[in-house]
Amino acid sequence: MCGIWALFGSDECLSVQCTSAMKIAHRGPDAFRFENVNGFTNCCFGFHRLAIVDQLYGMQPLRIKKFPFLWLCYNGEIYNHHTLQKQFGFDHQTKVDGEILLHLYDRFGIQKMASLLDGVFAFILLDTANNKVFLGRDTYGVRPLFRLLTDDGFLAVCSEAKGLTDITHAMATPANIVPFLPGYFEVFDLKLNGKVQSIQKERFHCCTNEPAHAIYDHVERLPTSFDEETVKSNIRTLFENAVRKRLMASRRIGCLLSGGLDSSLVAATLVKLAKEEKLQYPIQTFSIGSEDSPDIIAARKVAAHIGSEHHEVNFSAEEGIQAVEEVIFHLETYDITTIRASVGMYLVSKYIREKSDSVVIFSGEGADELTQGYIYFHKAPTPKAASEDSVRLMKELYLFDVLRADRTTAAHGLELRVPFLDHRFTAYYLSLPEDMRTPKHGVEKHLLRDSFKDLNLIPDEILWRRKEAFSDGMTSVKKSWYISLQEHLQSMVNDDQMGKAHKTFPHNPPRTKEAYYFRQVFEKHYPGRAEWLSHYWMPRWINATDPSARTLAIYQPDKEQ
């Protein structure tokens, strides 16, 4: 996890613009650097470092003796860097995982380089020999990237939009700040005055295709039969492989544990593999909730079962309400369910930063989108419709759950790892027959649960526990966190404001006082930037007016809760 920032062709003095880069300092608390690009006017890189791999040579922009004309600023982890180095016989100068990008680009060009990377990344690559700038972002946008481009070719790029909002430029028309699309790369021509022109934008990987790097993976070709036992064995193999490759770190590894199926599978597999790999410390797990919340109770059972060093963070609605504004500032969104769920994740991340030495944090994001885990999937009209919606959710992750997971952890200088979003695991799961992936016997994620049955990896009651939204499970069924939040916000927004909401906020007008308040706070920090969110996250196929699962008629809490 790092913060990257770069300007090409700035109209303003760089020393003035550089203050913007400090707005993402939280992403890299270990060190920072600004560097001008020799020979190009008003071009510079800014980098905030969180040291995870190669403590000595990890500062950026990364440059090596072999390619003095290449400058690389990237945020991410490339899990197959050793494999590719051996495969192609590259002679590496450092132990930095990102160095592989320079060698791949030099030998194969940008398209093949991007498609061979197994990992999460956002990069800015400058080639001064060919006067080109390249941007790229991983398949699911696990690592964030925003760009600003003016009509006259001034380009500014940053990990978070807040590092671009105060950038000044000479154009009369305001410049849009947009999220860089996941799974794409973009090529710019660089002129001597530092300005750029976009000449190519192309997708290098889509979640439904097997990634190009699969042929070099440690896990060989899997049996292709759709026989149920074969499929379940393949799911287990690929999931374990996804967790194992993410153990790459020189800092302590921990895991978020909500007590739901997804985080429990991640935590249990992580503890198992940590023992196999002989990690020198016990895995710490972290859960957050009020004392009687379903999540706290379930997480306690899982931690006892897997033998992790478990930490519980007590959550009160009052503390959550106090954190909302700070959370919206970090998130850069006003999406309702994203904000609700982010508060708990933000507070547990704060605890991890202050009270533990874990820095690399595993989490269960992506499983619900991939395995049709949301309760509304029970109402899908056909398996085909369910499958299509699953792919839609995967492609939109960067706007919702992946955005939440990145910003809430990065706000506290932690680095997130999400094995459920492994390229090979997701491509395989999405390639399975549509009717195999739907809810069965009234249970969502049936195939995933069934794959881990009778292994004693996690307790049976957790393996078959119903879906509970993270923002709901933190508090008791008697009173959800979102209800406490809504009650508090009733007095913050009046009926007159609600009556004019469509005029005040024509793009995505808020329909509730809670949504109105979130939007107000968002506009305070990011005025006029509502377009960053294309639509609110809402359940499909049922007439939902609230994203919480607990509001749906099909929600049935577990009996003992």
User: Does 15 appear as a known binding residue?
Assistant: no
**Eight-class DSSP state of 29:** B
Structure tokens at 198: 């976009």
Identity at 114, one-letter amino acid code: A
Closest among 342, 420, 359 to 140, alpha carbons compared: 420
Q: Kindly report the backbone phi and psi dihedral angles of residue 168, in degrees, each rounded to the nearest multiple of 5, phi listed first.
A: -100, 150
Structure tokens at 318: 């009052």
User: Does 76 appear as a known binding residue?
Assistant: no
* 495 vs 76: CA distance, rounded Å: 45
Helix, strand and coil content of the chain, in percent to the nearest 5, comes to: 40, 20, 40
User: Does 39 appear as a known binding residue?
Assistant: no
Identity at 64, one-letter amino acid code: I
Name every residue whose Cβ is closer than 8 Å to that of residue 121 and which is 6 or more positions away in sequence. Answer: 74, 75, 76, 77, 78, 98, 136, 137, 138, 143
Buried-exposed string 57-79: b where 16+ CB fall within 10 A, e elsewhere: ebbbbbbbeebeebbbbbbbbbb
Torsional sign, CA 205, 432, 464, 389: positive
Structure tokens at 331: 């998130």
- Which residues are identified as catalytic? 2
User: Does 363 appear as a known binding residue?
Assistant: yes
Q: What is the DSSP string of 406-470?
A: HHHHHTTT-EEE-GGG-HHHHHHHHHS-GGGSS-BTTBTTHHHHHHTTTS-SS-HHHHTPPP--H
Helix (H) or strand (E) holding 156: strand 155-158
Q: Kindly report the backbone phi and psi dihedral angles of residue 158, in degrees, each rounded to the nearest multiple of 5, phi listed first.
A: -155, 155
User: Does 288 appear as a known binding residue?
Assistant: yes
* 363 vs 255: CA distance, rounded Å: 6
Q: Kindly report the backbone phi and psi dihedral angles of residue 416, in degrees, each rounded to the nearest multiple of 5, phi listed first.
A: -90, 140
Is the CB of residue 206 less than 8 Å from the CB of residue 426? no
Is the CB of residue 241 less than 8 Å from the CB of residue 464? no
Which residues are known binding-site members for ATP? 256, 288, 363-364
| Binding-site entries for L-glutamine | 97
